Structure formats: structure tokens, C-alpha cells
Amino acid sequence: MDGLPTDSFSTENGVFVTKGLRWALNIDPQTQANKWIKRMVGDSLQIADFKDNSYMKKIENCITNGKTLLLQDVAETIDPSLDNLLNKSLIAVGKRFSVKIGEKELDYNPKFQLYITTRMANPHYTPEISTKVTVVNFTVVESGLEEQCLGLVIKSEMPSLETQKNEKLNMIASGKEKILELEDKILMRLVESDGNLLEDETLVKTLGLSKETSDSVKSDIETAENTMRRINDQREVYRACGRKAAVLFFVLSDLSKIDPMYQFSLDWYKDLFWKSINESKEQVTQDRQEIIMKVHKLNVYNQACRSLFERHKLLLSLQMLVKLLMAEDKISRDEYNFFLRGGTVLDTKDQMPKPQQDWILKEAWDNITELERLLPETFTGLPAAINLNPKEW
């Protein structure tokens, strides 16, 4: 409900951030964690940035007053004066605790919460920092982006369905939260009760009311979950469209390996995908997915080429083509890896002997025999073909 992607990878990250024993340092190049934390905490969140000269005052204020702090856009080094805070090195003073920040010793409020994010995609933190915090990789994964792109398609094509899905999600979440509250209330009554439990009329009434409420809430949750399953079945119609859109973003993201100047924002990409969906409505066709992806592929290529050197444009089109065909299971990963790397024979004992024809080079023969070994369903009939002349090949 607060914007955390629904894939299992992001859910596990959310558990590390909210339930971990150490403060979490989130690697967040697409700012997903940053936005999620801001929505989750709300207006009470205090934001500090090392670029701001007053960041230390904000940190001290949050520690003493028990506020939630977001330390955003950190670099590979963190102010050493915060070591005790990151390490949770607290000093017991009677029933209170204090923490030393630089030269100051501050009262530590147990309600204080700290979140840390960095936009660096591949930071190298020293062992001293890594042992003090939990480093969580919030870089977007394909499954999470697929769900987000699918949501955009459904929002455009079936808006009532997406609205209904969000309502049911809220209902299920609030229902489960209510059940937990009832369980806590019952446990509190049991702890506070004196004497015979059966003679405690307040406790008996509370238990009866809690059971009725719990049964009602569980029934509502079950109904909502059944509705969610039907909604998800309807959403699956556009699943392939969301998958292909996610694949294209990672094609753009991989361009940074060629030149670090090639950087593409996730927010920009989702806006571009939304634009493609709207533009595709002008073209009448029976297959909406096909026309959406046709428009989007063209938009992605045109927009990305504005940022590329001329020599890299052909590479972009090749990567877009191959990755989309792999998403459709028309090209296997083994085939593509063989195309990129060729075949290297490490053990020639089991290799079929090379024919005597001079026109067959050893490198070519290694490629052929490895292709048959790795992908026998792709390359067949080698024994019958080795004695053919070049024209027949």
C-alpha cells in the first residue's frame, strides 16, 4: 500500500529494513526505497542530507526527540562522528540511554528510527561500515518492474479492475492488522486478570466479542482473497506486455556497461511507457498488447538514440531484438551465449576428429562440435555432413 513492489525480492528487502537488528543502508539507484520509506512514515519523517550544512542538527534533534530520520544520498564514506549511532553503541545512564555523537553525548530516545539510502548503483563500502549496518540492495529487479508495468497497462485498459485490486489489498491488510490487535487485546486481558479466569465476566465478554469480530474479519479476508485471485486471473491477459516492457528497461540499464554516461531513470521510463500506452489508443486493432509494444519499442529506440553515440545504436537495436525474443522463448539463453562466445574445446579426447578438408579450420571445427554437444536439438546431422564439399555445406 505504501508503494513497495510486490515481488518476493522487494518483500524480503522490506523485512530487512523494518525488522533488522541493525540500521539498513539501502542501495537505491532507482529511488524505490526512498519513496517507499517516505510514504510509509508519512509527514513525521525528518530528512537529512550530507550536502546540507545543518544535517547534524537534524540528526541530533531526531535522536533526542525520538523522531524517524531518513539520511539520503549518502556516498561511499559516512561521517565518522556517526559511528556510535550506526553501531548502536549506547551508554546506559540509570534507566535511560545516551549516545555519543562527535564530542556531544545526547539522550537517546528508544523511539528513534534511522533509514539510509544511496543512489549509487554499485558502491564499495569499507568493512567498517558494512559491519555496522545491514546493506540492502534495493536495485529494481525484472519481476518487480514487470508488476509495475503490468499495473500501468491495467490502469489504462481496465481502470476499474486496478481500483478494485487496490481496494481489496487495503481490505486484506487492514483485516489482518485488526486480527493482530484482537489477539494482543486478549493476551493483555489474560495478563491483567486476577483469580479464576472463568469468573472474570469482563474477560469472558471480551473473548466472546473478539471471537465474533475475528470470525467476521476472517470471512471478509477470505472473500477479498478470492476476489483478488479472480482479479489476478484477469490481469494475466496483459502479463506478456508488462514482461516485455520490463525487459526493455533492463536493455537500457545495461548500456551503462558500455559507457557510464548512459543512465536512464526508472521514473522517466515508466512515464515513457505510459505515453506509449496512450499513443497506442489512436491505432485501432484487435490485439492491444501487440500495438502497445509496437509503439513502445519505437519510442524506446527513438528516445534512447538521442543519448547514444552513433556506433552504439546498432548494438541497442540488436539487444532489444534478442532480449524480446528471449522473453518470448524464441531464443534460448544457451544459444545466445554460444553466439557471443563461440565454442571452446577443453578436452579433445572425446571430440570427433576433424575431417581432412583444408577448408575446415580448427577454430570452425571446435565451434561446430561444441554446438552439437551443447545444443543437440539445434544442430543435427553432423556425422553425415562431414564428408560434404563446401558447396554442399
Cell of 236: 494475466
Residue 41 has pLDDT above 60, yes or no: yes
Q: 347 in a domain, yes or no?
A: yes
User: Domain boundary residue among 110, 139, 168?
Assistant: 139
- Domain annotation covers residue 222: yes
Residue 196 falls inside a structural domain: yes
Identify the bridge partners of residue 106 per DSSP, sorted by sequence position: 99
Residue 67, judged by CB atoms within 10 A of its CB (0-12, 13-18, 19+), counts as: middle
Classified as helix, coil or strand, 321 is helix
Q: Give the integer Cα–Cα distance in Å for 346 and 329.
A: 29
Are residues 173 and 244 both part of a single domain?
yes
Rounded to an integer, the average pLDDT of 12-40 is 91
**pLDDT-above-70 percentage for the chain:** 92
* Mean pLDDT score, 349-358: 74
Contacts for 6 with CB less than 8 Å, ≥ 6 apart: 144, 147
> What 8-state DSSP symbol labels residue 42?
G
- Determine the pLDDT at residue 311: 93
Q: List the CATH number of the domain containing 95.
A: 3.40.50.300
Q: pLDDT tens-digit profile of 48-81?
A: 888 888 888 999 999 999 999 999 988 888 888 8
Q: Which of 88, 117, 139 is the last residue of a domain?
A: 139
> Residues 279, 171: one domain?
yes
The secondary element (H helix, E strand) that includes residue 153 is helix 142-157
Q: Does 242 lie in the same domain as 177? A: yes
pTM of this prediction?
A: 0.74
Task: Look over the chain and give the mean of its residue pLDDT values, rounded to a whole number.
Answer: 84
In a shared domain, residues 134 and 34: yes
Highest averaged pLDDT of the listed ranges 118-132, 242-256, 332-346? 242-256
The order of strands in the sheet holding 104-108 is 91-93, 96-101, 104-108
Identify the band that residue 104 occupies on the pLDDT scale cut at 50, 70 and 90.
confident
At residue 383, the pLDDT reads: 53
Q: Which residues pair with 49 in a beta bridge?
A: 72
Is residue 315 one of the residues assigned to a domain? Answer: no
How many structural domains does the chain have?
Answer: 3
Q: Do 235 and 374 lie in a common domain? A: no
Using the 3D structure, point to which of 281, 307, 333 is the last residue of a domain: 307
Give the residue among 161, 145, 152 at the shortest CA–CA distance from 280: 152
Alpha-carbon span 112 to 206, nearest angstrom:
34
313 inside domain: no
Per-residue pLDDT, 101: 87
Domain that holds residue 384: 341-393
My answer on whether 359 and 279 are in the same domain is no
| pLDDT for residue 79 | 86
Domain assignment present for 335: no
Higher pLDDT, 154 or 344: 154
C-alpha cell at 55: 544535517
Is 90 exceeded by the pLDDT of residue 317?
yes
* One domain, residues 229 and 147: yes
Judge whether 321 lies within some domain.
no
Amino acid at site 93: V
On the 0-12 / 13-18 / 19+ scale of CB atoms within 10 A, 109 is middle
Q: Based on the domain organization, do 88 and 54 belong to the same domain?
A: yes
Q: What are phi and psi of 54, to 5 degrees?
A: -100, 20
